Amino acid sequence: MMATYLELIRIRFLVMLAYRVNFYSGILTYLIYTGGYYFFWMAAYGSRESLGGLSPTEMTTYLAVGWMARAFYFNHLDREIADEIRDGTVAVQLLRPVSYLGQRVAGALGEALFRLLFFSVPGLTLAALLFPVRLPTDPKVWVAYLAALALAFVLNAQINLLVGLAAVWSTRIQGLTWARRLVVDLLSGLYLPLSFYPAWARAVLEWLPFPAISYVPSLIAAGGLWGRPLVLALVRGLVWAAVLAALVRLVWRRAARALTVHGG
Amino acid sequence: MWRTLARYSRLYWEYLVQYAKVRWEYRGDLIVGLVSEVTYQAMSVVLIAVTFQLVPDLRGWTRAEVFFLYGYFLVPGALFGALAGGLWDVADKYVIKGEMDRVLIRPAHPLFQVILEGVELESLLGVATGIAIMAWAGERAGVVWDWADWLVAVGLILSSAAVYLGIYMALAATAFFADGRTGLMALAWNLNQYGQYPPNIFSRSLRWLLSTALPFLFVGAYPGAYLVRRGEWGLFAWLTPVVAAATVAFALWVWRRGLRRYTGAGS
């Protein structure tokens, strides 16, 4: 069973490899975004040594790592699923002896791993040349970072699955997928760290699954999260992953029953 | 001259009527589109609001001033998107699919047709929210308006929209030379967000680039800064119509040369 998923991951990776030229402009796009927020926040820092517990260098690292990590975990699972539900291809997929959502996630993971190697790594290297980024040197920090990044992929994929499955009940979920993107980007801390928000907003956000997608891994890389708070943040993310996994299972069961495929 | 103008005005109206009919058929999508746009703008507002909870100024710019710049930035962008969104389809629809054939055999200026086939009047919502933000922020920033300022503001907004038109028309025309997508438009689109921030937050070389080769500071930062601060930004504000004329002229030249290379899709 596992071998099937590994094969799905491998195939998608190879497909992406064939179209790798498309990614050069992607790297430039992400650098433009990183640059926009970099200049914005450096103007906000002015001569201040620290904002929300981060120094200007830590903030720059946070932004660069955050955007390049987004290249890894970001995907269009929701749209892909919604499209398959709308045009009925989902029926064919359901006939296959592999879990439908499982094969979709495996494909997304293959794509994500491709982007990690050919997008995030060169992108971060360029960002480090352009902006005063200081990456961690301690391998232990990188291990923690990669663990948090894996969790980010899982949580983001689960949220996308839930949004995509909404297409079973309403075929018009374009607006929903769009809103999902905005909400995840803003609340995960991609534009600004959670510690910049007012205390009341932070208290609410900390209990949501979003910070584990961008804030936690980026803060680890910026050197602002270690020890007990790190463990707590990861445990919180894991609990959310378990809750969302149960939710995805529940919704999928109901969706599979409610699904209507016309003709074909 | 007058007859041509009258004919094009009538054509324009006919296009808009067709457009309205189509949109009304898919009014659900229309509402979704409007809601997403408002959400997107709300996010930028949240970002500015949160920033100014932390700091009193952004390199010398107050909260009200930064909001004003953002409000100004929305208006020309929305005008351009509403009236000339068709430029986005040049590569895919007109060059790769070869629909330019259809456009070229019709007795109206091809650029006029391409632009009108892509009208998206719902983007005008950004004009309304932009003006509302400018009014709200302008009052808090202590801007005093007399009737001449209104004229100047309208002139600057139209010039900024023309800068957009020039940049994207030239980039869209690159599709004729490449016989397909170049990705340049999408790249530039990401860069034009730099126009919403105060112009002095960028490094010197970047500001130079954004004032010359890709003059995105003229779609927001410079004219907006003049309207809210006057004095020091006057020169850049007055350069806006000049930059607009230059980019549009350049774009028309590129467009004409590009169109001459157009060969159809062969089917």
Q: Which helix (H) or strand (E) holds B69?
A: helix B63-84
* pLDDT for the residue numbered B89: 85
Q: What residue ranges of chain B have pLDDT lower than 70? A: 266-267
Residue A25 has pLDDT above 60, yes or no: yes
Q: Are B50 and A197 inside 8 Å of each other by CB?
A: yes
DSSP one-letter code for A169: T
Q: Which residues contact A8 (CB under 8 A, 6 or more apart)?
A: A98, A103, A106, A107, A110
pTM attached to this predicted model: 0.91
* pLDDT for the residue numbered B122: 83
Average pLDDT value for residue range A52-63 = 95
Listed in sequence order, the DSSP H helices in A88-120 are: 89-95, 100-115
Q: DSSP per residue over B135-171, as a string? A: HHHHHHTT----HHHHHHHHHHHHHHHHHHHHHHHHH
**Residues of chain A with pLDDT > 70: what percent?**
98
Dist CA A62 CA A57 (whole Å): 8
How far is B60 from chain A, CA to nearest CA, in Å? Answer: 9
* pLDDT for the residue numbered B32: 78
Q: Are B197 and A39 inside 8 Å of each other by CB?
A: yes
Average pLDDT value for residue range A53-59 = 95
**Closest C-alpha among A74, A245, A84, A95 to residue A162:** A245
CA-CA distances (angstroms) from residue B3 to B9, B15, B116, B171? Answer: 10, 18, 20, 32
Residue A186 has pLDDT above 80, yes or no: yes
Residues of B in contact with A35 (CB under 8 A): 206
Average pLDDT value for residue range A18-22 = 73
Q: Which two tokens stand for residue A137?
A: 């040197």
Contacts 24+ apart (CB under 8 A), B12-21: B12/B116, B15/B116, B15/B117, B15/B119, B16/B119, B16/B121, B19/B119, B19/B121, B20/B121
Angle at A78 between CA A73 and CA A82, to 5 degrees: 160
Q: Which helix (H) or strand (E) holds A250?
A: helix A228-258
Give domain status of residue B267, yes or no: no
Dist CA A222 CA A63 (whole Å): 9
* pLDDT for the residue numbered B221: 93
Q: Buried b vs exposed e over A119-147: b needs ≥16 C-beta within 10 Å?
A: bbeebbebbbeebebebbeeeebeebbeb
Residue A264 has pLDDT above 70, yes or no: no
Mean pLDDT over the full length of chain A: 91
How far is B41 from chain A, CA to nearest CA, in Å? Answer: 11
Of A33, A174, A198, the CB nearest to B190: A33
Of A28, A179, A196, the CB nearest to B54: A196
Which of A62-66, A204-208, B93-97, B151-155 has the least mean pLDDT?
B93-97
Torsion, Cα B212 B218 B222 B228, to 10 degrees, reads 180
Q: Give tens-digit pLDDT for B53-69.
A: 999 999 999 999 999 99
Dist CA A259 CA A248 (whole Å): 15
* pLDDT for the residue numbered A127: 96
Structural domain containing residue B153? 2-261
Give domain status of residue B29, yes or no: yes
Q: Which two tokens stand for residue A157?
A: 């994929």
Q: Determine contact: A39 vs chain B, CB below 8 A.
A: yes
Asked if B84 and B118 touch (Cβ cutoff 8 Å), the reply is yes
Half-sphere exposure (Cβ direction) of A83: Cα atoms closer than 13 Å: 6
Dist CA B200 CA B178 (whole Å): 36
* pLDDT for the residue numbered A198: 92
Interface test with A, best of B52, B53, B201 (most A CBs within 10 A): B201
Give domain status of residue B116, yes or no: yes
**Closest C-alpha among B137, B14, B120 to residue B73:** B137
Q: Give tens-digit pLDDT for A246-261.
A: 999 999 999 988 887 7
Backbone angles phi, psi at A74, to 5 degrees: -70, 135
Give domain status of residue B123, yes or no: yes
Q: Give tens-digit pLDDT for A75-92.
A: 999 999 998 988 888 888
Of A29, A44, A178, the CB nearest to B55: A44
* pLDDT for the residue numbered B139: 93
Which of A19-23, A44-48, A57-61, B11-15 has the least mean pLDDT?
A19-23
Q: Determine contact: A172 vs chain B, CB below 8 A.
A: yes
How far is A104 from chain B, CA to nearest CA, in Å? Answer: 27
How far is A35 from chain B, CA to nearest CA, in Å? Answer: 9
* Closest residue in B to A197 (Cα–Cα): B50
Cross-strand partners of A51: A54
Q: Are B201 and A186 inside 8 Å of each other by CB?
A: no
* pLDDT for the residue numbered A263: 59
CA-CA distances (angstroms) from residue A24 to A111, A127, A225? Answer: 15, 14, 32
Average pLDDT value for residue range A54-73 = 96
* Closest residue in A to B181 (Cα–Cα): A22
Three-state secondary structure call for residue A133 = coil
* pLDDT for the residue numbered B267: 56
Three-state secondary structure call for residue B203 = coil
Give domain status of residue B140, yes or no: yes
Asked if A30 and A71 touch (Cβ cutoff 8 Å), the reply is yes
Of B29, B46, B201, the CB nearest to A40: B201
Give domain status of residue B266, yes or no: no
Average pLDDT value for residue range A145-165 = 96
Query: What's the total number of domains in chain B?
Result: 1
Q: Which two tokens stand for residue B23?
A: 């949109």
